[in-house]
Chain A
Amino acid sequence: MKNVIEFQATLSRGQFQFDMKCVFGEGITGIYGPSGHGKTTLLQIVNGLLSPDKGLIRIGDEVVLDKEKKIDIPSRNRKLGVVFQEGRLFPHLSVEDNLRYGEKLLPKSQRHIQFDDVVSTLEIGHLLKKKPEQCSGGEQQRIAMGRALLRSPQLLLMDEPFSAVDVALREQILVYLVRIHRKYRIPMLVVSHDLPDILRLTDEILMVRDGRIEAFGKYLDLVLSRKMLPRSSGEGLLNVISLYVDEVDEERGITTLTGEKGEKKVKVHCEACNEGVALGREVKVSVPPGDIAISLHPVPEISIQNQLEGNIKRLLHENGQVVCLVDVGFPLLVELTRSSTERLRLEVGMKVFCLFKSMSVRVSELT
């Protein structure tokens, strides 16, 4: 694989010790962990604004940092696109000049990404003549993404892209991030302290704690290997599934989604999506595991519409709670209390029904 990022660095700053080593793949990697534990430090070392005590970084074929060989390519010569937490658009320049700032400093032969293309992908054409301060938070974030993209980078770094905007806008930012990734196929490192935000974007998670990598891998594997279990109720788990829009019933306020695995067709009902959602469109669906109930039999006389049949694959006991993995056509995590588990005598291999309300299903339209 060409587009991989090899990273290794140690840094000591007073009390804070940073020591990480990993290889990032071509997709989107979510870097998750509490504030002040080294997520931003990791990005700063990659983008060259911070030089570690020891380290080696390779982006694609190019070694941008090798402390032993005294290689330390300055930030401006690393082929990276950086989107900062607060956007950091230049206030004295117009939106267009902001977008072109990095592009102009790039030799023509290295400009793979076209200006018009980025502007239309991010839908910022109407803002070009404005000053950044005249744009909304979400628009500013998109302009910052565009500015980074126009560096034709080999890697995109995003530091808390969601934190500067309110919850409603996060969804919007996610949409554009996914769009960028699908279109330009640039590997991305996305830092966030909010797990659900990351999971809606990717299931490849790097967990950071105390300046170290606590876990790295597919989300579900991390959960099943107990590397990411709810330590406290705050750090919740989340099911994020890709499904397709099957039917929209505006009158009944219900949208039906399907996921396919083999011959089995799984139907999930949720609240009506936005008007005009195209049938067959791919969406990301999230359901908190704590919102799912388990029943041994279907429950016909109940308001809950989603009753998915599946087999228990794993049962993990943790602090009086049980995390149960059910295969309903796709893997579904369910959080239960130990007493419920014992009452139902749940065991691996049992056939159960996962019940959740349509209102617990959150849909992100990502395409």
Chain B
Amino acid sequence: MTDLFHFTASDLSAISLSLKVAIWSSVIALPFAIAIGWFLARNHFRGKALLEGVIHLPLVLPPVVTGYLLLIILGTNGIIGKWLYDLAGIRIAFSFYAALLASVVVSFPLITRSIRLAIELVDVKYEEAARTLGASRLKTFLSVTLPMASPGIISGFVLGFARSLGEFGATITFAGNIEGETQTLPLAVFSYMQVPGQDTATFRLVMISVLLSLLAMIVAEFLNRRAIKRSKR
């Protein structure tokens, strides 16, 4: 029973790596998600459905497929990856950055979706009012749109964070399962499951996984409710 709370060095490294990947990937995805979310919420153009489809693709594709596609593009023999490796000696696949990138790609549509909905809820009339008061488009966006959509943006961020924590398929395909470098919580759980007699160790990480995800979802739900309450005014 004591084993249940006895974390090994590799356990701790998996937990900290997971948090690192999740935090970084949400932070990196956020500005792009805000830009794309705003673009989709406020613009109507030909081929919008196609663009939306492409952006949302990682949400519905099997993560393994996403990982495979990343490998084809950025792997050492990939379309861009080969070029990067030959020219600058940069190897992305099977590194921490691959885990990070897989996480960004998979969580991006989720964050974008949430932000887009939040911006759509901000009545354009407030933006018009800001413009008649002398605000440029950027100033309007920063001082009116963004603060009014902030609960949705925060909840999108938390959702992306949670999605990153749970990311498995794309990571193992594109980044591999390297302890200390790409072995995040789900991958560590998977590794323990492969070895007979490691039930306690598996459960140890499962417990942490459940706790972290639950916490993220509770925060997201709380912020979501606040957003809905605000928009009903």
Hey, which bits of chain A sit against chain B, CB under 8 A? 47-49, 74-78, 80, 82, 84, 86, 88, 90-92, 101-102, 105-106, 133, 147-148, 151
| Residue contact A49 to B133, C-beta cutoff 8 Å | no
A90 neighbours in B (Cβ, 8 Å): 126, 129-130, 144, 148
Contact call A84/B129, Cβ cutoff below 8 A? yes
Contact A88 B131 (CB under 8 A): no
Which residue of A75, A86, A133 contacts B131 across the interface (Cβ within 8 Å)?
Answer: A75
The answer to whether A92 and B148 touch (CB under 8 A), given A86-B125, A133-B233, is yes
Q: Is the CB of B132 within 8 A of A75?
A: yes
Q: Bound state CA distance, A76 and B139, in angstroms?
A: 11
- Does B147 count as interface, using CB distance less than 8 angstroms? yes
Chain B residues in 8 Å Cβ range of A102: 132-134
B126-145 with Cβ < 8 A to chain A: 126, 128-136, 139, 143-144
Give Cα A78 to B133, complex, Å.
9
Could you tell me the distance between the alpha carbons of A106 and B133 in the complex, rounded to whole angstroms? 9
A304–B125 Cα gap in the complex (Å)?
50
Task: Tell me if B42 counts as interface (CB < 8 A to partner A).
Answer: no
Least CB distance from B71 to A in Å reads 44
- B225 interfacial contact with A, CB 8 Å: no
Q: Which residues of A contact B233 (CB under 8 A)?
A: 91, 133
For B128, what are the chain A residues with a Cβ–Cβ distance below 8 Å?
Answer: 49, 75, 84, 88
Chain A at the B interface: SS class: loop
Cβ-defined contact, B132 with A49, below 8 A = yes
* Residue in chain B with minimal CB distance to A97: B143
Taking a contact as CB atoms closer than 8 A, the residue among A76, A82, A84, A91 that contacts B135 in the complex is: A76
If A90-B126, A90-B144, A133-B233 touch, whether A105 touches B132 (CB-CB below 8 Å) is no
Contacts of A82 in B (CB 8 A): 129, 132-133
CB–CB B136/A76 < 8 A: yes
Bound Cα distance from A86 to B233, whole angstroms: 13
Complex Cα spacing A130 to B148, Å = 17
Q: A49-B131, A80-B132 in contact; A105/B148 too (CB < 8 A)?
A: no
Bound-state Cα–Cα, A82 to B233, Å: 22
> In the complex, given contacts A84-B125, A88-B126, A102-B133, what are 11 additional A-B residue pairs having Cβ atoms less than 8 angstroms apart?
A49-B132, A76-B133, A76-B135, A80-B132, A82-B129, A82-B133, A86-B125, A90-B126, A90-B129, A92-B147, A151-B134
A48 CB contacts on chain B under 8 angstroms = 131-132
| Bound complex: CA A88 to CA B135 (Å) | 15
User: How far, in whole Å, are A75 and B132 apart by their CA atoms in the complex?
Assistant: 5
A47 to B128, CA, bound (A): 10
CB distance from B158 to the nearest CB of A (A): 20
Write out, one digit per residue, whether chain B residues 102-144 have a CB within 8 A of any chain A CB (1) or not (0): 0000000000000000000000011011111111100100011
**A106 contacts B134, CB within 8 Å?**
yes
Report B-chain residues with C-beta under 8 Å of the C-beta of A47: 132
Question: Please, what's the 1-or-0 string for B21-54, where 1 marks a CB less than 8 Å from any CB in chain A?
Answer: 0000000000000000000000000000000000
Residue of A nearest to B123 (CB): A88
The answer to whether B230 has its CB under 8 Å from any CB of chain A is: yes
CB contact between B132 and one of A76, A106, A133 (< 8 Å): that residue: A76
Complex CA–CA separation, A78 to B230 (angstroms):
32
Complex: A147 Cα to B135 Cα, angstroms: 13
Contact A105–B134 (Cβ < 8 Å): yes
Question: Which A residues are in CB contact (< 8 Å) with B132?
Answer: 47-49, 75-76, 78, 80, 82, 102, 148
Would you list 13 pairs from A and B whose C-beta atoms are within 8 A, ordered by A residue?
A48-B132, A49-B131, A76-B132, A76-B135, A77-B134, A80-B132, A82-B132, A84-B125, A86-B125, A92-B147, A133-B233, A148-B132, A151-B134
Residues of B within 8 A of A147 (CB): 133
What is the chain A residue whose CB lies nearest that of B150? A92
